[in-house]
Structure 1
């Protein structure tokens, strides 16, 4: 039984930094770790990756050859990876015997709730290689300072959870920097527990751009609360205790697989 993490999140949320820090922490506690870079736009890796999608397809080459922009190029790369899933399986096969896997995915959010290619890649790996994976969805904590952006982050988190249908942890990353962006309207617990979102309405109304979309925002908040699926844990990747607490949560999520297999 092979365990691992699918690390996703918008651009700038700290996915690559997370994979670097998490791999170092896991090695310190005695786990053999292999980082798999599946982001063809990530050409400056701070970690040593066991598998690199650039050995299969390069975003820069795709953009030139097919006259695509960065987003279209990434969708093409994921389609290409799905069609060549045997390549990825062959690279992972020597690792699955004794390694914990960290998959570093691209930051384009549409890959995880508009397109099916990334999900298809994940599902094929889970089925063919008997992987037990937990999604770690990173969201930059500074979004909590802006009520509108926070609601958008909640909606993105919910959409991704429903689309991927896997054990899932939403993480407010860079929590050590959150106060540098401004004072939060409420205590941090309000944002991590996703409490009564109606309290945000007053702050949203202070922005003329948000006020004119008041009804839409309220209905989106109602959808988020009706599902009651989204919550966050916090992370300072430089703090060992913070990383350790997150690892415990991830391990607990992965017990879902073990309990299911024992039935």
Structure 2
């Protein structure tokens, strides 16, 4: 049972099913859904493939109910891949609402399954795919089930290509990773497990290939040796249902890995971001206080100049105003020349008073 703590704290694992086109990803989802229903553990299913014609299972949340893939292609003049990517981007803008629906049902769930677009790069290398993965992983134990077409991987070159792609996804997402070799009813996945655990066995398979690629794959197999050690490998058949219990065991192991490795790292990164934001806030506040102090200092200087001049000449200014005001009123009906002369006299008087005030202020500053 995939729980953590009490029922109120239950965190169902999120399984992101990713795979190349034709790997049997949707069929695997159907079989896993049926297997969990048989165990009385019905999963909560999210479909993120807007281009799928018909799903062989019922999705609780379906991107097709929100975004019309064909209308997106028509409106934005896009091709199939561009339409899928744009539809996924539009859906991601409302993913907080999706997360809200999941949170309401989480206490009653044991598993959350997410079906992704068949064009694998649209989900794994897009901003929307990263947002969905990180958002889920921040709340629930999240893992990736990478579905592989076993019969098509029998050739060393194809096998190595799949492993490199899996390595790149693991490096990008950093969440627990499960390699699911599908279609084992057609071809057993034992050869793949042997190639991953026995370097010499893979070398023997490479010797049959005389192309220039053999030396490259030989070098890459050495690099990927450590990568293989961190992978959980299971073989399943989506047609017969074989290996589903092994897959669920791998899911339980991935939950433990999430709690022991991914979650502490996530908390460390979040704490670093929080401290960085706090430092930025403090720095901005310090700059603001410094700017305000400089502005206040400038205002005090200007305010002091005006006040000192006014206080020293307050009586004289009032007397002059009392003397000037009646005379100014008497001269309202005078001609233009007298009025201009009167204004000039006022201006000259103000300039003299300001000059005297400034001299007194500077003298006071020197004495201080």
CA contact (8 A) 1:14 1:140 kept: yes
Q: Given the alignment of the two structures, is residue 246 of structure 1 paired with residue 250 of structure 2, yes or no?
A: no
Q: Does 1:111 align with 2:122?
A: yes
Q: What is residue 141 of structure 2 aligned with on the other side? A: 132
Which of these residues, 89, 96, 109, is aligned with residue 79 of structure 1? 89
Residue equivalent to 2:205 = 200
Instruction: Note the 1:199-238 alignment, pairs <5 A.
Output: 199-205=204-210, 211-228=211-228, 229-230=230-231, 232-238=233-239
TM-score, structure 1 as length reference: 0.84
Cα offsets for 1:111-143 (capped at 9, x unmatched): 35533320211212332xx21122111000012
TM superposition score normalised by structure 2: 0.61
Cα 1:215–1:259, aligned 2, differ >3 Å: closer, same or farther?
closer
Specify which structure has the bigger relative contact order, considering alpha-carbon pairs within 8 angstroms and separated by 6 or more residues: 1
Distance 1:40 1:188, change over 3 A: same
More helix by percentage: 2
Number of residue pairs aligned between Structure 1 and Structure 2: 251
The superposition leaves residues 145-200 of structure 1 with CA deviations (integer Å, 9 ceiling, x where unpaired) of: 22211111111111111111111101110111127xxxx9x845424646443333
1:137–1:157 contact (8 Å) kept in structure 2: yes
Kindly state the Cα deviation for residue 2 of structure 1 after the two structures are TM-superposed: 2.5
Q: Which deviates more, 111-120 or 188-197?
A: 188-197
Report the Cα distance in structure 2 between the residues aligned to 1:91 and 1:43, rounded to whole angstroms.
Answer: 25
Among 149, 163, 174, the alignment partner of 1:154 is: 163
The 1:113/1:4 distance shift into structure 2, 3 A limit, reads: closer
Q: Cα distance 1:218–1:68, how it changes in 2: closer, same or farther (>3 A)?
A: farther
CA distance in 2, matches of 1:90, 1:203: 54
Residues 212 and 259 (structure 1), Cα distance of their counterparts in 2 relative to 1, 3 Å cut = closer
Which sections of structure 1, spanning at least 5 residues, go unmatched? 206-210
Between structures 1 and 2, the one with greater strand share? 1
- Could you tell me how far apart the structure 1 residues matched to 2:184 and 2:72 are? 36
State the SS of the aligned residue for 2:58: coil
Change (3 A) 1:74 1:11: same
Q: 1:190 aligns with which of 188, 194, 200?
A: 194
Kept in 1, the 8 Å contact 2:207–2:214? The answer is no
Question: How far, CA to CA, are the matches of 1:194 and 1:48 in structure 2?
Answer: 41
Structure 2 unaligned residues grouped into runs of 5+: 1-10, 265-368
Deviation at 1:4, TM superposition (A): 2.5
Q: Contact 1:158–1:230 at 8 Å: present in 2 too?
A: no
Shift in Å, 1:66: 1.6
Deviation at 1:232, TM superposition (A): 3.0
CA gap of 1:233–1:203, structure 2 versus 1, over 3 A, is farther
Alignment partner of 1:120 is 2:139:
no
Q: Which residue of 2 aligns with 1:208?
A: none
User: Superposition RMSD on alpha carbons, in Å?
Assistant: 2.7
Separation of aligned partners in 1, 2:182 and 2:29 = 12
* In 2: Cα distance, 1:242 partner to 1:192 partner: 19
